[in-house]
Amino acid sequence: MTENQNLLSTPPPPLPTRPIKLPTAYETTLPNGLVVVVVEDERLPLVSYRIAFRTGDAHDPAELPGLMDMLTGLLTEGTETRTSREIADEVARLGATLQAGASSDYTTVAASSLATFSDEILELMADVVLRPVFPPNEVELAKQNTKESLKQQRAQPAFLASEMVARVMFGDHPYSVTAPTPESIDATTRERLVEFHRSTFVANNAVFVIAGDVQRDAILQRIEGLFGDWQAGTLSGDNFPSPPRRTSCSAYVVDRPGSAQANIVITSAGITRTSPDYFPMLVMHTILGANASSRLFMNLREEKGYTYGAYSSLDARRTAGTFRATAEVRTPVTGDSLKEFFFELNRIRSEPVSEKEISDAKSYLTGVFPLRLETQEGLIDQLVQIKMFGLPDNYLEIYRNRIQEVTIEQIQEVAKKYVKPEEAAIVIVGDGSQLNEQVKPYAKDIEFYNTSGKRKTIKTAAAAELGNQVTELTGNWSLQIDTPFGQSIPATLTVSHSEAGLAGKVESEMGDGELVFKTFDGESFVAAISFDVAGHRMEAQIAGQVANEQMEGSITLENAPELSFTGHKTVRADAQQAPS
């Protein structure tokens, strides 16, 4: 090979790491306990603002999960001096943004604007943070919207998997709650919102971060004028029960009859965000499954073709965490996929990673990190996390050095410590009747649940052999089919049973159709339906669960979003057959 050919075939060596030049952050604390962080950055005439509170979804009252989410959603829906419409109009007039949201550990009120409108947006932020009124009509609307959103969530396999993982891994710790319930939504009142706001939105629970084209002295004077009278309060802290300690590998299957895919999550107890093992775990996670060149992806996607993507995730929060490996696979290859997952999980523990793998992972992590700090929004979000998680003030400066310090030995050490296949929880959302035998070789115990999170059993008997259990399904049902647009379509389902088996028909505004039942195990059923819509023949699959004369499930149409439905029995089968 000539010298020129060698040059063309050999990639150039990576350039040396360039230092990150970050604007200096100035921090002060007002007499009422409000921490203020100001970053002066005059490169663009823009300013980003964050007011962050050390209270998040995990601090919701036990009987009212979802309270903080509803509260943040209502902050901009009316104050003592402005209506919801006036707030929206003023934000639009300024060409600004103003929104609020909550995570497990903290809550933020975020805004951005041109520097010219700093005074106006700060006054607006003060109004929604200090003086929200939670108008009764907006509270009722928020409750109805939350219920509709919850119905849509429960039709999504990814949500069902996350919900079960949280429930299994966190136990009595409040991280186990991922969504409100219809009962908690109904129990939420304006009075509870006002009370919760009064106790959590206090000055000594907050950090105000400003980054952009501002003058430090002027912005501090303005903040003190708007927030100086904000009262301090008593803080609840993070006194939560510890997550349960796992001692064996168990599987938890959320049954979605007829599902063509299985959502797999294999999870072990992880670390907190301030753990000294964080950086070795981050590099190990990058090698194992963080991206499309990691081991899990290359195995399950590129080599085996079981899935479009297989990944790991490092969920490190303030008081607990998990480490997860995930993929959505075709149902028939669920068992084969579990085999490859456990192969890779054991390999990362038992074999040292290669020099190339650790070098590539470090290059990736140190390379993408500066990109997160290029914009004001990216920088301010990192500063908020530093304050909310209690990270070192110089975290952004030392990040790349800490990554480079990670050794191969440290990676294997944390893998053995936190990647524990023998104690893992295997959560799978899919067709339980097809998953049972595939999961057995990998789990000591298997528990089955319906999509409402209630324990169930999986039976394989045919409908003709189920005896009296068939009466749970037969009869007339009144259904409400939820559309993606927040509307409900009424429908009637009629199910009968004869020597030939189960039969049924659906009548609705979408059209009428006959059902051909594929499976029924006494609790869950799957059926095919064919009906006319505006002269076009449509094929669909309906899957549901029945219990106590209540029904819930989903309808899958060709080339259309999945539709969830709920219903109740209006006429029992024995009443249908009674003589007149």
Residues 6+ apart with CB under 8 A from 34: 203, 204, 206, 207, 208, 223, 227, 230
- Arithmetic mean of pLDDT, 239-243: 96
Is 92 or 487 the better-scoring residue by pLDDT? Answer: 92
Three-class DSSP category at 445? strand
pLDDT of residue 573: 59
**Of the candidates 523, 528, 473, which has an alpha carbon nearest to the alpha carbon of residue 497?**
473
Q: What is the pLDDT of residues 139-164, one digit of tens each?
A: 999 999 999 898 888 889 999 999 99
pLDDT of residue 468: 63
**Of the candidates 269, 292, 224, 260, which has an alpha carbon nearest to the alpha carbon of residue 35?**
224
Q: Write out the two tokens for 539.
A: 């094929």
pLDDT of residue 80: 96
Report the CATH superfamily, name and number, of domain 250-371+390-456.
Answer: Metalloenzyme, LuxS/M16 peptidase-like (3.30.830.10)
Q: What is the pLDDT of residues 311-323, one digit of tens each?
A: 999 999 999 999 9
Residues 358 and 411: beta-carbon distance below 8 Å: yes
Q: Is the pLDDT of residue 577 over 60?
A: no
β-partners of residue 513 are 506, 531
Total-model pTM: 0.85
Residues 231 and 284: beta-carbon distance below 8 Å: no
> d(Cα 528, Cα 523) in Å, to the nearest integer?
17
Three-class DSSP category at 203? helix
139-161: b (≥16 Cβ within 10 Å) or e: beebbeebeeebbbbbbbbebbb
- 25-227 shares its CATH topology with 250-371+390-456: yes
Q: What is the pLDDT of residues 85-136, one digit of tens each?
A: 999 999 999 999 999 999 999 999 999 999 999 999 999 999 999 999 999 9
- The strand pair at 35-40 and 206-212 is best described as parallel
- Arithmetic mean of pLDDT, 52-73: 97
pLDDT of residue 464: 42
C-alpha dihedral over 383, 233, 124, 135, to 10 degrees?
130
Residues 166 and 177: beta-carbon distance below 8 Å: yes
Using CA atoms, how far residue 452 sits from 65, 251, 255, 328, in Å, is 16, 17, 10, 21
Using CA atoms, how far residue 278 sits from 242, 283, 415, in Å, is 19, 9, 12
Angle at 102 between CA 316 and CA 34, to 5 degrees: 95
Is 473 or 94 the better-scoring residue by pLDDT? Answer: 94
Q: What is the pLDDT of residues 423-450, one digit of tens each?
A: 999 999 999 989 999 999 999 899 999 8
Radius of gyration of the chain (CA): 28
Residues 265 and 341: beta-carbon distance below 8 Å: no
Q: Is the pLDDT of residue 504 over 50?
A: yes
pLDDT band with cut points at 50, 70 and 90 for residue 223: very high
Using CA atoms, how far residue 334 sits from 159, 165, 290, 331, in Å, is 19, 18, 21, 5
> What single-letter amino acid sits at 481?
I
pLDDT of residue 460: 46
Residues 282 and 368: beta-carbon distance below 8 Å: no
Report the CATH superfamily, name and number, of domain 25-227.
Answer: Metalloenzyme, LuxS/M16 peptidase-like (3.30.830.10)
Three-class DSSP category at 580? coil
Q: What is the pLDDT of residues 11-62, one digit of tens each?
A: 677 667 777 788 899 999 999 999 999 999 998 999 999 999 999 999 999 9
Q: What residue segments make up the domains of the chain, in order of their start?
A: 25-227, 250-371+390-456, 463-577
Q: Write out the two tokens for 326.
A: 């995930």
Q: Is the pLDDT of residue 271 over 90?
A: yes
Domain 463-577 falls in which CATH fold?
A: Lipocalin (2.40.128)
pLDDT of residue 222: 97
- Arithmetic mean of pLDDT, 342-369: 96
pLDDT of residue 525: 86
| Ranges 114-118, 231-235, 458-462, 543-547: which has the least confidence | 458-462
- Arithmetic mean of pLDDT, 265-291: 98
Mean pLDDT rounded to a whole number for the chain? 91
**Of the candidates 527, 530, 479, 531, which has an alpha carbon nearest to the alpha carbon of residue 503?**
527
> What single-letter amino acid sits at 13?
P
